Amino acid sequence: MRIREIMTANVECVSPDTGITELANKMKVLDVGFLAICENDRLAGTVTDRDIVIRGIAGGCDLNTCKAHDIMTPEVFWCYEDDDVKDVARKMRDKEVRRMLILNQRKRLVGVVSIGDISKVEEKESGKILRDITQAA
């Protein structure tokens, strides 16, 4: 199975100059806890709701002046939309990340996948394997 089959498409990208309050409001409206940060049509980093709290608020950032680039994680983990789900799951495990950005072959952001998305697929696969074993016995 390819990762494009389970990814969430229509991922929002925000500028590194986006304010913390605007980031939080965008997350609220979209009902997400993660946003990609893009600059000049390229990935520049990611920011999570936890980054807003830990690096921003608890880190002493002024909510009126602090920007995404002040709290974002610049290291971006990604894979291609035609990568196999199991390979992406392995990469997420190895990198110890909960979300992976999905790019097309032109390296443009097309989606995101979470460990929750992968666990649903793996659960189905595990159930299918158990069913096959049970039927064979």
Q: What CATH code is carried by the domain that includes residue 36?
A: 3.10.580.10
Give CA angle at 81 (18, 22), nearest 5°.
15
What local confidence, expressed as pLDDT, does residue 123 receive? 66
What local confidence, expressed as pLDDT, does residue 129 receive? 42
Residue 64: burial class (beta carbons within 10 Å; 0-12, 13-18, 19+): exposed
Helix or strand or coil: residue 42?
strand
Mean predicted lDDT score pLDDT of the chain? 88
What local confidence, expressed as pLDDT, does residue 132 receive? 53
Mean pLDDT along residues 56-67: 94
Percentage of the chain modeled with pLDDT above 70: 88
Residue 130 confidence (pLDDT) above 50: no
> Is 40 or 19 the better-scoring residue by pLDDT?
19
Domain hosting 105: range is: 3-136
pTM: 0.80
CA dihedral 30, 32, 37, 38 (to 10 degrees): -50
Q: Which tokens belong to 15?
A: 């500028």
Distance separating alpha carbons of residues 127 and 78, to the nearest angstrom: 28
> Within 10 A of 36 (CB to CB), how many other CB atoms are there?
20
pLDDT tens per residue, range 73-126: 999 999 999 999 989 999 998 998 989 999 999 989 999 999 888 888 866 664
The tokens 């979470």 sit on which residue? 114
Greatest Cα pair distance in the chain? 65
Structural domain count, the chain: 1
